[in-house]
Structure 1
Amino acid sequence: MKHSICLLFTVGILLSGCSKWNVEPKNFYSSATRGDLDTKPYVLYDLDLGAVNGSENADFYWRAIDQTSFYVSPTNGAAIAESSVPDPWNIPYLDLMNQNFKTSTITVGTYSNAIAYITNQGRYGAFRVSNYSFTDNTLKISWITYSR
């Protein structure tokens, strides 16, 4: 009985101390890859590596609708979700895991929030559209993919 009270007291102190340190889940996961990527429509991109990749490891592609909108499509088992957070660097890892992921295409317009994803290799991440140019036919994204 004496040991169980001591254990409960110790755990209580540790838990109360954690809230004072403002520990967020994302701090426990390291980024596998991150950066900026200039993309062209209908080309396959691998967000595990941050590379153009026309193979079975690619995670998404996009295509233009008009001057302000485009589609983003996951491929090869990857999934995407519209996030409510504008900056992909500030989405806690556990929040990424709780998104409503789809394997279907989503329409993106002047989208200011991040798009969360699961790569086809099972890693979570998010990207933000930095620039969309209909005339140059390019989409620039800033992205981060976490290690498992």
Structure 2
Amino acid sequence: MTESWAAFRAAEPEFADTVRARFQAFQHHVLATLRPDGSPRLTGLEGDFRGDELWLGMMIGSRKALDLRRDPRFSMYANPGTGTGMGGGDVRISGRAVEVTDPEEFARYAADDAETEAPERFHLFRAELSEVVRIRVEDPHIIFQVWHPGHALRTIRRGDEDSTVYEDD
């Protein structure tokens, strides 16, 4: 099951805003796709939030675009930044990339940001989410927040060896 970014935000607005801010803190992120033999491929990517969607744009014929055309499953990891601060925590989204082929949808995408000139030809995918995860440290705990479509946001706190606390938000 997957949901659009808009549906994710409607279900968990505060969490969605936190995740989006974490992705928007840096321009470049890491995209994981599946090669033809099933092994992972990691590449750089700029995730683009326009309207209430998350878009993935790629050069024509790029390996990652061809991977997604063959198997739309992906994960994208937000750039951790510099140093060890991890401000905002680790954030990752997973799901399916839906290729946009409709010329009118391309035009709407381009019109949403008149300041940025899109290449004349490129692959454009809309992200449909199956999982959103944020991991952060609140000493002495590691806090995991996990969202799946159709389920409430779940928070898991892990501490030292003797204590693990689970709670659902």
TM-score w.r.t. length of structure 1? 0.35
Query: Which has the larger strand fraction?
Result: 2
TM-score w.r.t. length of structure 2? 0.32
